[in-house]
Amino acid sequence: MSLSYLAGPSIPLLNTTIGQQLEVTANLFPDRLALVSRHQAVRFTWAELLAATGRLAHGLLRLGLQPEDRVGVWATSCTEWMLLHLATARAGIVLVNINPANRAHELAFVLRKSGMKAIFLRERDARVDYSAVLSEAVEHGARNGETAALKHTVLFGTTAWDSLCTCTDTVPLPKLSPWDVTNIQYTSGTTGLPKGVLLTHHNILNNGYLISLQMGYTERDVICLPVPLSHCFGCVMGTMCAVTSGAAIVLPNWTFNPLLTLEAIAEERATSIYGVPTMFIAELRHPAFSQFDLSSLRTGIMAGAPCPIEIMKQVQTDMHCRQMSIAYGLTESSPVLTMPHLDDDLEPRVSTVGTALPCTELAIASLETGELLPRGIQGEVRARGYAVMKGYDREPEATAAVIDADGWLHTGDLGVMREDGYIKITGRAKDMIIRGGENIYPREIEEFLYTHPHVAEVHVTGLPDDRLGEIVLAWIRLKSAHECTQEEIRVYCRGEIAHFKIPEVIRFVESYPTTVSGKIQKFRIREIEMEERGLETVATAKMA
């Protein structure tokens, strides 16, 4: 039996910076549509986008910022975000992505940790007064004796922002290297303190390039992008795919809205749609779904969380995305490591996360010994190649803990490599439930429960138990107009999955705790259930 190692095809990578590639694309397709922000009624061609980001790059340097300085963007999806993303890359300034859901405590952490010298934000929106939260964050840092490096606060829509966007300087922009850091993205923080992932031009530009090749993108494609720009899904799989292919990006709204996403697809004749599984579920279940002509779609990417097989099948048929793709990766890998091929049959497309992208090495290794495992045996997914981050910002020990001496990134994800080289993700090592000595992987139970005719969405995790160590907990959202009982779910499971995998605790819910990028926070599901059941002392009890 062969070992679980695979190297994707070797092809020439781009040896350019983001700014250089933007110039190439704008020169090739100057009059083609590049960016549409529907909620702002803004449209840019590639020539217009190149000019606008050039003016802004000069404006940032005129402000007194220098190459390698850090600046933060704290906003939901908008034109300004896109302009800053490309302008900072052209000026050699490092963009720090700030989660729009961050509040004072979290923002104070990012301000201190990143050392950003400027922050760009909208004063307020319907959900939050960002200026007030920023003031509170700065005060929070001062109370803790932390001196922030922040010198400039620029609000979108003000004279200060407009002056940056209309800078008429003509001096050449700095000469940069593809291996310069251009972006810092903080891991979601679903466990522990967030870490700043250092990503270079070479990392994210080439990841976008290889994804665009895998997706078959050309300048005739239109990518509907309802995912946050503050996440890799938006600013790499979206923006960098467009910059390297000439495809257009369409932003349907400030934040995800299923109705506005469906409208954007239909009216802009999108050929590709992105989203995490919960977004696709919301679109498919929307009462007005059947009213929209989605026939322009041919493809898209579902990523960011395990993708239920039944939902994938519905997206392929009901949304016309016959070439719908799965993408697997993590922020530390820029982010995508694996995808299926466009001409793959349904089976590998719905039951795996595909195979290695070009120029990417993958391995499945033992968590205990680090040795390569035979194909078909579960172990930790590891990756090596151009996409691996430069490291965690100012955290050499944390970097060394996940990137070993041979350059392998230890993902912490559990997976199996099939004989054909396709990868099945079976969970995360820390997600595994150990019930009375039996190892249980939540993904397996979730996939089964999705076959129940009344289940719209389900997430499974472990719940502390003083007898078995852990028991299985399932939070289930039912399809509209359907009812179900806990016992009906258990009866459905009996005889179909092992008895120890049948959820002991079931809760029917209308929504789930999520990050801004739509990832389900299973640790919060666990915490909420523990608090309501008074299981905190059980959770801290030592088990044999």
Tens of pLDDT, residue by residue over 243-275, are: 999 999 999 999 999 999 999 999 999 999 999
Q: Is 497 or 246 the better-scoring residue by pLDDT?
A: 246
Q: pTM (2 decimals)?
A: 0.87
Average pLDDT in the chain: 92
- Return d(Cα 234, Cα 230) in angstroms, integer: 7
Q: Would you state the pLDDT for residue 544?
A: 31
pLDDT tier, 104 (very low <50, low <70, confident <90, very high otherwise): confident
> Does pLDDT of 458 surpass 80?
yes
Grouping H, G, I as helix, E, B as strand and the rest as coil, residue 217 is: coil
What number is the average pLDDT over the span 300-305?
A: 86
What span, in angstroms and rounded, lies between the C-alpha atoms of 437 and 453? 32
Alpha-carbon distance of 370 to 379, in angstroms, equals: 9
Model confidence at 438: pLDDT above 90: no
The enclosing H or E element of 135 equals: helix 130-143
In the numeric block, the tokens 């004279």 are attached to 159
What domains are there in the chain, each with its CATH number?
Answer: 39-176 (3.40.50.980), 432-540 (3.30.300.30)
For residue 338, is pLDDT > 50?
yes
Tokens 């992987």 correspond to what residue?
A: 441
Element (H, E) at 119: strand 118-121
Query: H or E element: which one contains 251?
Result: strand 248-251
Which has the minimum average pLDDT: 185-194, 501-510, 513-522? 185-194
User: Which pLDDT does position 543 carry in this prediction?
Assistant: 36
Instruction: Give, in order, the Cα–Cα distances in Å from 114 to each of 108, 184, 198, 270, 291.
Output: 10, 8, 11, 36, 46
The whole-number average pLDDT for the span 93-110 is 90
CB 114 within 8 A of CB 72: yes
In whole angstroms, what separates CA 130 from the centre of its chain? Answer: 23
Question: Which pLDDT does position 540 carry in this prediction?
Answer: 56
Predicted pLDDT of residue 542? 40
pLDDT at residue 363 in the model: 98
pLDDT computed for residue 251 by the predictor: 98
Q: Which of 129-138, 200-209, 237-246 shows the lowest per-residue confidence on average (mean pLDDT)?
A: 129-138
Better pLDDT: 366 or 309: 366
Residue corresponding to tokens 């003509």: 170
- Mean pLDDT for 518-533 is 90
| pLDDT level of residue 276 (50, 70, 90 thresholds) | confident
Give the C-alpha separation, 330 to 340, whole Å.
17
Report which of residues 473 and 139 the model is more confident about.
Answer: 473
Lowest mean pLDDT: which of 225-239, 356-370, 456-470? 456-470
Q: Over pLDDT 70: what percentage of the chain?
A: 97
Question: CA nearest 352: which of 278, 283, 420, 431?
Answer: 420
Does 486 score more than 50 pLDDT? yes
pLDDT in tens, 152-165: 999 999 999 999 99
191 falls in which pLDDT band (50, 70, 90)?
Answer: very low
Which region among 94-108, 413-427, 433-447 has the lowest average model confidence (pLDDT)?
433-447
Say if CB 274 and CB 247 are below 8 A apart.
no
Percentage of the chain modeled with pLDDT above 90:
77
